Amino acid sequence: MNDFQAIADRVEIAALQYEFTDAVMMRDRARLARLFTPDGALRMPDVPVELVGPEQIRVGGEKLQEQWDFFVQNTHPGSIRIDGDTATGRAHMHEIASLKNGFQGLNYAIYHDRYRRTEDGWRFTERVYEVRYADTTPLTGSAPASARASFTDPAPSERLERVAAALTANGFTVEILDDAAAARARVEELVPADASVFTVASETLRLSGIDEDVNGGSRYRSVKARGIAMDRTTEADALRRMIATPDVVVGSVAAVTEGGSLVVASASGSQLPSYVGGAGRAVWIVGAQKVVPDLPTALRRVEEHALPLETVRSRAAYGQPSAVNQLLVLSAPARMTPGTVLLLREAIGY
């Protein structure tokens, strides 16, 4: 192995360690599980927890994070020793935790790691967590309200199941999928070829590749592509009707409540007619971080989280801020527009 390859391997393994901590901090357990090989293990004898395989790591991790009120993990680099397509290493941890059962404290620990090179890059085959120092003195600080009620943390599996059940009871068709790639494949299955399809402006659709699939190819009759070519003055009525009544509308939402309601915020209102009865069918792709307890929290998520992010995008794209000019709450699908919700285990979009 040449020196350049050795350096590249060390950088990639270090990035793997940091990706682990980022997934923990963002409570994105699906992403964390993908950092392990199929036979990979996460062992924490001091907890005690032993999880083998990505599915156990995902589910077990979600159960652990449900116990947290506040948790911070910092990773400090340790040694990395590479031996061909395998490697060993250490990462030093400094953690602060406040649990829902009242436990508080900080600790210093070490992850003893084994890694393997795969087609997808370096992955963990084993992480063994060893606590070296623990201080259970109650913390003098506290998490701000925005940290306690995060709008970026993916909801754990049990909460997603409850939301799916509530949406189903309200008349929506619901599927829980692992990630955006699965949603992208499912949209292709759900939307028939040659259908007229309107994709609303959505970071979820852009990041997942669904927007490009619909509007950049020839499989569908893209409403957006046709609309771009139309004159906004002389063909305004035809454009309005085309946007309002596609065969299928594909989009996302700003929030989904545990009671089974979808909350949509809009500056232009262009997607609303198709959502409430104009389209032949609606498909919404919803990241796990959009789950909220109730409608008041959903509205707070719109104002405090989604709107500022959309304003950044809007200023870059159009030179002006965004606004919440219309709000739509769907507590059931429109009678003439059956609705399918693809609820993801991962966070994506705003």
In angstroms, the CA 186 to CA 211 distance is: 14
**What average pLDDT values come out for the chain (350 residues) when binned by 10 residues?**
83 95 86 95 93 93 80 92 96 91 90 96 97 91 58 89 96 96 97 96 94 94 91 89 96 96 94 95 97 90 90 86 94 94 95
Place of tokens 């990241």: 287
pLDDT at 148: 47
DSSP at 337: S
- Residue finishing a domain among 95, 125, 148: 148
Q: Which of 146, 250, 233, 143 lies closest to 188, judged by CA?
A: 250
Q: Does 216 lie in the same domain as 73?
A: no
pLDDT at 174: 98
Q: Does 161 lie in the same domain as 143?
A: no
pLDDT at 2: 62
pLDDT at 70: 81
Is 350 inside any structural domain? no
Is 19 inside any structural domain? yes
Q: What is the pTM of this model?
A: 0.65
Per-residue pLDDT tens digits for 276-335? 999 999 999 999 999 998 898 899 899 988 998 898 888 888 888 899 999 999 999 999
CATH number of the domain that residue 32 is part of = 3.10.450.50
Contact status, residue 243 vs residue 222, Cβ threshold 8 Å:
no
Q: Does 333 lie in the same domain as 256?
A: yes
Domain that holds residue 315: 157-344
Q: Does 177 lie in the same domain as 67?
A: no
Is 349 inside any structural domain? no
pLDDT at 144: 60
Q: Does 45 lie in the same domain as 65?
A: yes
Domain count, the chain: 2
Q: Does 179 lie in the same domain as 58?
A: no
Contact status, residue 247 vs residue 282, Cβ threshold 8 Å:
no
pLDDT at 146: 46
Q: Does 300 lie in the same domain as 182?
A: yes
Contact status, residue 112 vs residue 67, Cβ threshold 8 Å:
no
